[in-house]
A and B are shown apart, each in its own frame.
Chain A
Amino acid sequence: SQTIHQWPATLVQPVGSPLSLECTVEGTSNPNLYWYRQAAGRGLQLLFYSVGIGQISSEVPQNLSASRPQDRQFILSSKKLLLSDSGFYLCAWSVRGAHYESHDSPLHFGNGTRLTVT
């Protein structure tokens, strides 16, 4: 069965420090991968998604970046955190096959990382 791992669960970082959040998926190949952020009391904001190694689509311009060095690994990074980067960061995956399968494939979310920038 497929599983998604996201770590750490919680993180407290000072303003200006770097960030690296990692997400890995097991039990599937060629998944679509996603990073979402949820600020306190707000909805889910799509940050990045990837349909393959090295293929990253950015939805919101900001001081965050994403990379996909391996098929089932998705990394969210920042060189210098801002207070506004605080939030609940969620990684997700879905099946990627023929295009007519993608819309039928639900997203599977990890347990999230709660980031507090102080």
Chain B
Amino acid sequence: AQTVTQSQPEMSVQEAETVTLSCTYDTSESDYYLFWYKQPPSRQMILVIRQEAYKQQNATENRFSVNFQKAAKSFSLKISDSQLGDAAMYFCACGGSQGNLIFGKGTKLSVKP
């Protein structure tokens, strides 16, 4: 079984600053993937970034990067140069060999101008 925990229900960041969203997970599988999804007020779920567990190098997508600590089962998301459009719910998810994803409860990110 897999579990995903996001301990920060809400976060706030000043525009142009950097913010880090936390995620911890637990899985018994050796081959798994981790994801961060963004859900803006439009409610569309958008993939932000993906990390393969077998890769040691942290994934990066433009202003978004992760800090993947496999031994600690930690997968945090860093957003640099925050923009107003980054305001959304962010969900961490873990996917195993069965193809399904387990999602955390989400973190609501507010961006202050």
Chains A and B come from one and the same complex: no
Chain A residues with CB under 8 Å of chain B are: none
Name B residues whose Cβ lies closer than 8 Å to a Cβ of A: none
